[in-house]
Amino acid sequence: MMTRTVSSVLMALFAALVTVPQSARSEIHDPAFLAALDENAQLYVADWNAASNAFVNYRFVGAWRQSEGRAANTRACAIADFNEDGHDDIAVGRSQFYQSGGFTLFLNDGTNGFVRQEAAMLSVMAEDWLQEMTAADLDRDGHVDLLAHGDTGSLTFFQGDGAGHFKAQVQDGFEWRSRGLDTADFDHDGTNDLVRAAYSSGNLRYYKGLGDGTFAGYAQIADVGDDPYAVTAGDFDRDGHSDVMANAGSSGNITFLKGLGDGTFAAGTAVPTLDINRHSAFDAYDFDGDGDLDIVTTTYDAKSILFFRNDGTGTNFAAAVTVGATPNNVMCISAQPHPAHERRRLR
């Protein structure tokens, strides 16, 4: 009896090891990478090399459409495993001259090589082009979704099905123009919430997620300065709560908003070590594996991609390291989802 019991336990353990459910496979990480999209719809990628503790192999991947043609103000991109094959893909928003509000997917082949899939989504965002986009499971169905806003202010929830297909649902109450946005579970209720910056005024607003892809009314949490394109969320100070970083447009001034874990935030703190004195976009990931989130940023009209290491406080970063350059102005960058950011899956 003991032999059969031990044998059955060992067989069960072996089955658990060799049989990986789809939800677990989707959590497998490739080598870390970043993606940057310039305003002429040119997509660039750089890989993180753990051995050298630096970015390597910065390269041009492709454009969001087969014939680049007219393209301007392509400013929306996001990284996540959209088809649940265990490899993170890239979603790229369409440009000002193709006002369909849709996007194209670049699927990861498993080696951080990317294959373009034409017209992943032509949405109901008529006469609008994408200004910003973020990836998260917003309806708690286990599949990664996209949240994007257009230039005129529309906000659309793209419901993912786990196979790289999306269904668009325009959100009500978001008609005002905005700039940066991001999502995280700021109040620890198991649902992703939203922070979104207003155009011109610099007001940063918090919206509680309802778990179905929609959000409750907003609370204003800060004035971070005019035209804040750069907004990213994550646990920057390693206290277990998601925080927010946001910039002040052309001045480049960066504000750190410490999350208190209940959907509220401490007063903003300046982060001069991230100030690049111009418009930028940024995202966060623990690239160097030291337990805190680092920052990658664009420098808009300086046409470069920079990397900043976090010292773990959230308010001090090492000097910028240049990752690469683009031939055109660049206002879009994305890093992979990370556990502290709570952007991949909420179970």
- pTM value? 0.86
Contact 193, 209 (CB under 8 A): yes
Angle at 182 between CA 164 and CA 316, to 5 degrees: 130
Closest CA to 41 of 82, 95, 113: 95
Q: What pLDDT does 134 receive?
A: 94
Q: How far apart, in Å, do the first and last CA atoms of the chain sit?
A: 38
Q: How far apart are CA 238 and CA 314, in angstroms?
A: 8
Tokens of 169: 């649902």
- Which long-range contacts link 310-313 to residues 24+ away (Cβ below 8 Å)? 310/236, 312/237, 312/238, 313/237
Contact 75, 342 (CB under 8 A): no
> Is the residue at 346 inside a domain?
no
DSSP string across 242-275: -EEEEE-GGG--EEEE-B-SSS-BPPPEE-GGG-
Q: How far apart are CA 15 and CA 126, in angstroms?
A: 49
Q: How far apart are CA 347 and CA 105, in angstroms?
A: 25
Q: What pLDDT does 330 receive?
A: 92
Q: How far apart are CA 244 and CA 131, in angstroms?
A: 19
> Is the residue at 347 inside a domain?
no
- What residues of the chain score a pLDDT lower than 50? 1-28, 66-69, 97, 122-124, 126, 340-347
Closest CA to 26 of 83, 110, 66, 72: 83
> For the chain, how many structural domains are there in total?
1
**Positive or negative CA dihedral for 35, 135, 218, 132?**
positive
- The neighbouring-strand residues paired with 296 are 283, 307
The owner of tokens 């094959």 is: 85
Sheet of 54-63, strand order: 54-63, 42-49, 33-38, 330-335
Tokens of 336: 């992979």
> Is the residue at 226 inside a domain?
yes
Q: How far apart are CA 290 and CA 264, in angstroms?
A: 27
Q: What are the tens digits of pLDDT across the range 110-148?
A: 999 999 886 555 444 545 667 889 999 999 999 999 998
> Is the residue at 206 inside a domain?
yes
> Is the residue at 119 inside a domain?
yes
* 4 φψ region: left (φ > 0), alpha (ψ -120 to 50), beta (else): alpha
Tokens of 8: 């059955």
Which positions ≥6 away from 15 have C-beta within 8 Å?
none
Domain that holds residue 311: 2-341
> Is the residue at 111 inside a domain?
yes
CB-count burial class (<10 Å; 0-12, 13-18, 19+) for 69: exposed
Q: What are the tens digits of pLDDT across the range 86-113?
A: 999 999 887 654 555 568 899 999 999 9
> Is the residue at 37 inside a domain?
yes
Q: How many other CB atoms sit within 10 Å of the CB of residue 165? A: 15
SS3 of the chain: helix, strand, coil, percent, to 5: 10, 40, 50
> Is the residue at 327 inside a domain?
yes
Here the CATH number for the domain that contains residue 99 is 2.120.10.30
Which positions ≥6 away from 232 have C-beta within 8 Å?
180, 182, 244, 245, 246, 282, 283, 284, 295
Q: What pLDDT does 131 receive?
A: 81
Q: What pLDDT does 120 receive?
A: 55
